[in-house]
Structure 1
Amino acid sequence: MAEATIHKGGCHCGAVRYEVSTALDTPVISCNCSICQKKGTLLSFVPADAFKLLSGKDAVQDYQFNTRNIHHLFCKTCGVTSFATGTAPNGTRMVAINVRCLDDVDLKSLPVMDYDGRSM
């Protein structure tokens, strides 16, 4: 298991910025649910205490659908969804990071795991 490091990321226009502590040593998730497929996100899930919003609290808009368990947050200015928040099945708070929005990550180096969210 790799050691967690701090990664910075955010939206396209820069209004939303955050840092996340993660090792990125497990496959990132490519989900085919009705929203992830359209957005093209690659997700890595972290506990809420591993995520820190640096700027943009007032710049994000919340979108919820279906069970309304996940808060799909996107920048009001550029429309980019760089992270989402929710509750894991065990009840802990989590953040889903769109690794495509991390500044220093080589996406080609990350293993990708397909997830069938469409059938859930």
Structure 2
Amino acid sequence: MKLDGACHCGTVKFTVELKGGLASARRCDCSFCTMRGAVAVSAALGGLTITEGADNLTLYQFNTGVAEHYFCKSCGIYTHHRRRSNPNEYGVNLACLEGQSPFHLSEVVVNDGQHHPNDGGPADGVAGILRYEVTR
């Protein structure tokens, strides 16, 4: 599944080929992702190409410094990150993808970032399921 994406202001644009399509959608409950609140989908490192605005991306790292979280300097939107659990993959902000929204998904797996598998947490790495139900 190949899609175009962009940050909120449109300065950063990219194309991505998703590994597993939308079925790879997930959230994380680590301190950072809990505050960020984004739903991410997976892409191989070679599956994401920044087509415009690469110089407008800024990098944030914390804790182990393995994960690399990228944001647009202008609008502040998180576009993608290099995953700690699999540094050969990117997590891509589903809401940045053309025609997609996390609200199109009825359920999203929540990864256990508080007890990360790389730190001896459960091998399945799942903390729970986030559900969305349309009421109107």
Q: Is there any run of 5+ residues in structure 1 with no aligned partner, and where?
A: none
Cα displacement string for residues 38-70 of structure 1 (whole angstroms, at most 9, x for unaligned residues): 111101121111111111111011110011111
3-state SS of paired residue (1:19)? strand
Q: Is the 8 A contact 2:39 2:102 kept in 1?
A: no
Question: 1:25 offset after TM fit, Å?
Answer: 4.4
Aligned to 1:8: 4
Question: 1:26 offset after TM fit, Å?
Answer: 2.0
Aligned to 1:44: 41
Aligned to 1:69: 66
Between the aligned partners of 2:93 and 2:81, the Cα distance in structure 1 is: 8
Aligned to 2:93: 98
**In the alignment, is residue 35 of structure 1 matched against residue 10 of structure 2?**
no
Question: Counterparts of 1:14-29 in structure 2 under 5 Å?
Answer: 14-22=10-18, 23-29=20-26
The verdict on how the C-alpha distance between 1:27 and 1:46 changes in structure 2, with shifts beyond 3 A counting, is closer
**In the alignment, is residue 54 of structure 1 matched against residue 51 of structure 2?**
yes
Q: TM-score, normalised by structure 1?
A: 0.84
The verdict on how the C-alpha distance between 1:116 and 1:6 changes in structure 2, with shifts beyond 3 A counting, is same
Q: Is the 8 A contact 2:59 2:68 kept in 1?
A: yes
Between the aligned partners of 2:35 and 2:78, the Cα distance in structure 1 is: 12
Between the aligned partners of 2:13 and 2:70, the Cα distance in structure 1 is: 13
Structure having greater relative contact order (Cα 8 Å, sep ≥ 6): 1
Between the aligned partners of 2:34 and 2:62, the Cα distance in structure 1 is: 15
Q: Percent identity?
A: 28
Between the aligned partners of 1:99 and 1:82, the Cα distance in structure 2 is: 9
Between the aligned partners of 2:104 and 2:55, the Cα distance in structure 1 is: 33
User: Mean Cα displacement is larger for which, 21-30 or 45-54?
Assistant: 21-30
Q: Is there any run of 5+ residues in structure 2 with no aligned partner, and where?
A: 117-136
Q: TM-score, normalised by structure 2?
A: 0.75
Question: 1:86 offset after TM fit, Å?
Answer: 4.4
User: Mean Cα displacement is larger for which, 67-76 or 20-29?
Assistant: 20-29
